[in-house]
């Protein structure tokens, strides 16, 4: 049985490969993430097919960032596709504009805090203000919630502290950077296992390469579901 706490990232080249992967996983997976990497490869068409033809839930990971009017217009256009989650940067003006664009629909706006592939050295290079990464993530999460975000994206290592924020009540925490025990971390720097991410307060975990690159994708996804079932 599927469990929509698991979101599988369709990090493949195009919609044809994405559809094949979804067909292989079948009823095991009910929720998929489609990101920027597939935008020019038919990502929106795939989202519509998975949603309309296969009854899957869809997380569109676009991480939108622009002036308010542009974000609002972009989100209004995307909201017509009846998707479930959409990411934007967690800056308050972006969140407010995205919520306005999604008004009247069921689309949930998720604010990105700090990418799970970044550490303090990366933030220094980008001239981001001083402070420990977890503290900055928690601060950005709180501001995103105050601006109206339906949820936030953070690494599983910060999930517990974000869940402790009063503003997080009734909001979603979605955690990428999740790796089953023994899996390679790849370019992710702030990771945790599926069970620990959920135990720390995440509502959904996003898993990509450990399923995509497995010899048997369905078996890999089922192993994660079995781990979640123990909670």
List, by residue number, the catalytic residues: 63
DSSP 8-state assignment for residue 129: P
Please name which of 3, 10, 27 lies closest in space to residue 195, comparing C-alpha atoms: 3
Q: Could you give the angle at the alpha carbon of 35 between the alpha carbons of 150 and 62, nearest 5°?
A: 50
The CA-CA-CA angle for residues 174, 1, 54, to 5°, reads 75
Torsion of CA 72, 74, 80, 86, to 10 degrees: -90
What is the C-alpha separation between 214 and 216, in angstroms, rounded? 5
């Amino acid at each position: 049985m599927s469990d929509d706490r698991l979101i599988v990232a369709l990090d493949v080249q195009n919609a044809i490969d994405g559809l094949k992967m979804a067909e292989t996983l079948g009823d095991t997976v009910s929720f998929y993430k489609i990101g920027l990497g597939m935008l020019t490869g038919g990502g929106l068409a795939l989202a519509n097919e998975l949603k309309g033809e296969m009854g899957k839930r869809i997380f569109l990971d676009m991480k939108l960032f622009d002036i308010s009017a542009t974000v609002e217009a972009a989100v209004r256009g995307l909201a017509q596709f009846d998707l479930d989650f959409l990411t934007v940067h967690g800056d308050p003006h972006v969140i407010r504009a995205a919520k306005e664009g999604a008004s009247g629909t069921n689309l949930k706006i998720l604010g990105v805090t700090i990418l799970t592939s970044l550490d303090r050295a990366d933030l220094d290079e980008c001239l981001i203000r001083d402070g420990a990464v977890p503290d900055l993530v928690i601060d950005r999460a709180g501001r995103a919630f105050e601006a109206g975000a339906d949820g936030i994206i953070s690494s599983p290592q910060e999930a517990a502290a974000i869940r402790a924020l009063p503003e997080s009540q009734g909001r979603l925490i979605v955690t990428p950077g999740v790796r089953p025990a023994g899996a390679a971390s790849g370019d992710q720097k702030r990771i945790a296992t599926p069970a620990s991410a959920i135990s720390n307060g995440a509502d959904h975990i996003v898993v990509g390469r450990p399923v995509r690159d497995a010899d048997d994708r369905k078996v890999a996804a089922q192993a994660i579901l079995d781990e979640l079932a123990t909670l």
